[in-house]
Chain A
Amino acid sequence: AQKITQTQPGMFVQEKEAVTLDCTYDTSDPSYGLFWYKQPSSGEMIFLIYQGSYDQQNATEGRYSLNFQKARKSANLVISASQLGDSAMYFCAMRGLSGGGGYQKVTFGTGTKLQVIP
């Protein structure tokens, strides 16, 4: 079974500062994908960044980077130069083997609510 843990229900960050959102995962799968999604107050789920378990380098997408530490089973999201529009819920997710049939299921964490302060 796979599990995603996000231990920070809420975070505050000052505008223009960097912030790290924590995510740890548990899996015995040799191959898996890790994802971060943003959910603003409007409700839609927006894909931000992806990291493959075999990727040697940490993923980056603009102001987003994923601090992947495989031995520690962590996949923290780093947002640099925070903006007011970054205020949202952030979900970490993992796609791994579903117990018999391939990489079919995605498991989500409970989310972290980020508030950017002017």
Chain B
Amino acid sequence: NAGVTQTPKFRVLKTGQSMTLLCAQDMNHEYMYWYRQDPGMGLRLIHYSVGEGTTAKGEVPDGYNVSRLKKQNFLLGLESAAPSQTSVYFCASGLDSSPYNEQFFGPGTRLTVL
């Protein structure tokens, strides 16, 4: 099993450009998450999904959109990138809603917005 994969690994954008980050998992997990990691701030939840066709806002959703058209994929979109969105983005998946199950993380995408 590949686990959780993210595409691309690195990307540089200019202000105002758009892009989509792809997350894929092969563990048949219901829950998927997008986080951003900034120095000194830990991981902050952007959006998450509790199943195919569902999405919900997390802690810092502004400027991002997501879609979960297939159970195994969770897409994160930036419609008009801003320098404040320079960050490392992590995707994660989880089996279900039990508080006793850990999340499985992808390798991360390092995004720089100039």
In Å, the complex CA distance between A32 and B99 comes to: 5
How many of A's residues come within 8 Å of B, CB to CB?
A: 27
B54-88 Cβ-contact flags toward A at 8 Å (1 or 0): 00101000000000000000000000000000001
Contact check, B104 vs A104: say whether CB atoms are below 8 A apart.
Answer: no
Please state if A110 and B107 are interface contacts (CB–CB under 8 Å): no
Q: How far is the CA of A91 from the CA of B100 in the complex (A)?
A: 17
| Complex Cα–Cα for A108 and B42 (A) | 6
- Chain A residues contacting B34 (CB-CB under 8 Å) are none
Number of A-B residue pairs having CB atoms within 8 Å of each other in the complex: 61
B97 at the interface (CB under 8 A from A): yes
For the complex, what is the distance from the CA of A36 to the CA of B49, rounded to whole Å?
22
Cβ of B103 < 8 Å from any Cβ of A?
yes
Shortest A88–chain B CB gap in Å is: 14
Q: Which of A14-22, A45-53, A64-72, A79-87 is the interface stretch?
A: A45-53
Which residues on A sit within 8 Å (CB–CB) of B104?
A: 47
Which residues of A (9-40) have their CB < 8 Å from a CB of B? 9, 31-33, 35, 37
Interface residues of A (CB under 8 A from B): 4, 9, 31-33, 35, 37, 43-45, 47, 50, 52-53, 91, 95-96, 101-106, 108-111
Task: List chain B positions with a Cβ less than 8 A from chain A.
Answer: 31, 33, 35, 40-45, 48, 50, 56, 58, 88, 90, 92, 97-105, 107-108
